[in-house]
Structure 1
């Protein structure tokens, strides 16, 4: 970040500091982080200034929000220098590739057992169904994002505010060097490329992130199971642990049922 954010924003900021990534030089400062919890309306006010300032706000959670270092954010466990550009990746190709990897039957891999994989991804099995079609936003994407930010803060009172110089929330994750999905791929820009596509097709907005969690608002959720199944397939390719490690959804179909008329998407990588 080339400028202190308070010099760019009209919205007054609470106390905070620039965070250096943990690369060798320590020269990169991709994130401004508040010292204390974010207030309910602060995310909304800063999001409204994004077009002018280029700063995207993130509500940031921690593995241990009572830890003064607030990992991974305050501790600088970030790797922006390792990330490529989201524009270098085709989201359709990425999702198809990840789907093939996650549905491959490998007798040496027991997460989940090979015999369960095709049952989990029914009705598609190992066949990638392709991208779900986008539709005009059913509501204002920014308004949905603002409402979800308020909801998220009400659930997690210790989340902090982060500011990242990025064109969108999708790009912000790569710019800041977030490593949430590192157990599947260590280049977050690939996930940002998919998120860009969801921003365009579904009016999705990145609102919050944790150590290995991601929270989006959605302006155009599916209204029919046929569409929900295709989106569920994209989610499984993007984050298979949403089903593999879930205590609620054990198949693509049960997961898709939850997506119908739901204006937020959550992801967790083990």
Structure 2
């Protein structure tokens, strides 16, 4: 399924890059964004390699730290509530709760399960159509982050795919990042 989605993404990326760039209607003192090159892969690279559990924090400790950051950081969650969800894995929480967003829920839950195994990820919070995921073992270098970023793109999340953050910038933001957030409009 991800490989099929990647082929669709890649075809769209190539069409966009080949199309003439439309002039932007910006004020004189504003520079336009650079053209987003998209993912740096010419063929499906498969899933990004995981990081061994000895190379990072304990996933439960990372989850507690992420929740604390979400509660007290510069943009704290509004009116948070604690929920006990009868799910064996945090990756199943969105489906068990019946969380509704424009997210492709089966694909997202499958990726979340895979991220649990490979990166010590845990679903820690929801805020409307936004989901927050703690990451105990995030990518440690730019190449690995670029590979992980492709999986983020394939979730269809608007914050990754709306064109406001170029692919290389999103990938760079994942290096050593203990919290990944996604939203769908």
| 8 Å Cα contact 2:157-2:182 kept in structure 1 | no
Higher Rg: 1
Aligned residue in 2 for 1:99: 6
CA deviation profile, 1:56-106 (whole Å, cap 9, x unmatched): xxxxxxxxxxxxxxxxxxxxxxxxxxxxxxxxxxxxxx322222233333x
How many residues end up aligned between the 2 structures? Answer: 164
Correspondences of 1:50-199 after superposition (within 5 Å): 94-105=1-12, 114-116=15-17, 119-124=36-41, 127-137=43-53, 138-154=56-72, 155-182=76-103, 185=104, 188-199=105-116
More strand by share: 1
SS in structure 1 of the partner of residue 84 of structure 2 = strand
Query: Secondary structure at the residue paired with 2:85?
Result: strand
Question: Does residue 258 of the first structure (1) align with residue 165 of the second (2)?
Answer: no
- Contact map agreement 1:214 1:266 (CA 8 A) in 2: yes
Q: Deviations over 1:139-169 (max 9, x none)?
A: 1110010011111122124122222111011
Aligned to 2:149: 232
What displacement does 1:178 show?
A: 1.2
Q: Distance in 2 between matches of 1:262 and 1:176?
A: 26
TM-score normalized with structure 1 length: 0.55
Gaps of 5+ in 1: 1-93, 106-111
Give 1:210 deviation, angstroms.
2.4
The answer to whether the 8 A contact 2:158-2:184 is kept is yes
5+ residue gaps, structure 2, are 19-34
The structure with the greater share of residues assigned to helix is 2
Query: How far apart, CA to CA, are the structure 1 residues paired with 2:161 and 2:180?
Result: 16
